[in-house]
Amino acid sequence: MNQDISYWVNQIIDGNRALLSQAITLCESSLVEDQNISIKLLEQLIPYSGKSIRIGVTGTPGAGKSTFIEALGTYLISNHNLKIAVLTIDPSSERSKGSILGDKTRMNLLSSMDGAFIRPSPSSSILGGVAKYSYETMLLCEAAGFDIILIETVGVGQSEIAVNQLVDMLLMLHIIGGGDDLQGMKRGLLEWVDLLIINKADQGTELMAENEALNLKNALHLFPLRQSGWIPKVVTCSSLEKRGINEIWSIIETFYSSIKSSGYLDMSRELHQKIWFEQLLRSSIHQFVDQHQSFNAIKNEKLSAYDEYHNPLLLLRELKDELKKKFSSN
């Protein structure tokens, strides 16, 4: 970082996309120096965040999440003059730890628009369909002045619930005839969905889509009333033919207005920030302990002893006992 923190802060607030991208890269870096800089940046940028509508977009692979996001994003930019940040999560390889990060290439039209910012991030094997630093990335985009933050999850099913700890509203894409996929998700994910969208309701399949939507509406009514008071909606949409997008935006506006006036928005965001703080706390403690020389000596001793004992639980208990003695003596 050639310039001081205040320069970066001012540039990001002014909407400098290049420095915003670099700030996100600092957050995602595993280097301690980069992490320290990103924390200083976020400390000063947090007061400028929180003014956007945060939306999660989930659904099984093949449900058309990228096509839908491009259709919604281009509609909002062209018809409502809104600035859209799209945070896409791509699965990371367990073997190479790499990620394709191809969502930007799948949203050619949206990525070419001045009002859009698309940032792919690797999941880095983090469960829940989101990336490790999705919350930090979202705050940076909000500070940069984006009106809508769209978070596209990996799309792996029931473990996607973690995205609900980031967003105000959760949209789930479903395709015609995908009842088995929906059944596989059971209550876990559906309890959090605010808007269920039957996507790919293209010309010739409208009636099938409407029938499926009706069945899903009846199913969702079996769930208990949300704390927010919101009753989940089910709509049909053709992202390819750009049909149903305006209705979806109207529902999003109604939802946001409802939770804002009831006070639920402030309450849920406060909870999300507390969850983020707890994650930061655990990460800081882990980093501190991992860098502590005496702890590493004990850890390495137990790792070396594994070949002799072949009992990880016994060694773990011994390690915990030694740590208790060490810290209690101090």
Q: Which residues contact 185 (CB under 8 A, 6 or more apart)?
A: 157, 158
**Strand, helix or coil at 168?**
coil
13-50 b/e (C-beta count within 10 Å ≥ 16 → b): eeebeebbeebbebbbeeeeeebebbebbbebbeebbe
What does the alpha-carbon distance between residue 322 and residue 188 come to, in Å, rounded to a whole number? 40
SS3 assignment, position 57: strand
User: What is residue 104's predicted lDDT score, i.e. its pLDDT?
Assistant: 54
Query: 189 Cβ partners below 8 Å, 6+ apart?
Result: 58, 157, 158, 160, 161, 172
CA distance 50 to 201: 34
**C-alpha of 13 from chain center:** 22
The 10 Å Cβ neighbour count of residue 272 is: 18
Nearest C-alpha neighbor of 83 from the set 148, 11, 4, 17: 148
Q: Give the closest residue to 115 by CA, choosing from 71, 76, 57.
A: 76
What are the sequence ranges of the domains in the chain? Answer: 1-48, 49-262, 276-329
Cα angle for residues 57, 62, 66 (degrees, 5° grid): 45
Q: 148 - beta bridge partners?
A: 53, 84
10-residue mean pLDDT profile of the chain (330 residues): values are 83 96 90 88 95 92 90 97 92 43 71 94 52 85 97 65 85 77 57 89 86 83 83 92 95 97 96 90 79 77 77 83 73
Q: 59 vs 164, 178, 297, 312, CA distance in Å?
A: 13, 11, 46, 38
Q: Environment class of residue 119 by beta-carbon count within 10 Å: exposed (0-12), middle (13-18) or buried (19+)?
A: buried
- Cα–Cα distance, 71 to 78 (Å, whole number): 11
Question: Which CATH number is associated with domain 49-262?
Answer: 3.40.50.300
pTM: 0.84
Contact 178, 60 (CB under 8 A): yes
Q: What is the DSSP letter of 130?
A: S
Type of residue found at 230: W
Cβ neighbours of 225 (radius 10 Å): 8
Residue 19 CA: distances (Å) to CA of 8, 49, 61, 133, 147: 7, 16, 32, 17, 19
Name 84's Cβ contacts closer than 8 Å, sequence gap at least 6: 73, 76, 77, 110, 115, 116, 117, 146, 147, 148, 150
Task: Report whether 38 contacts 26 (CB < 8 A).
Answer: yes
Q: What is the CATH number of domain 1-48?
A: 1.20.5.170
Give the integer Cα–Cα distance in Å for 114 and 175: 31
Give every CB contact of residue 144 below 8 A, 6+ residues apart in sequence: 12, 13, 15, 16, 17, 20, 85, 117
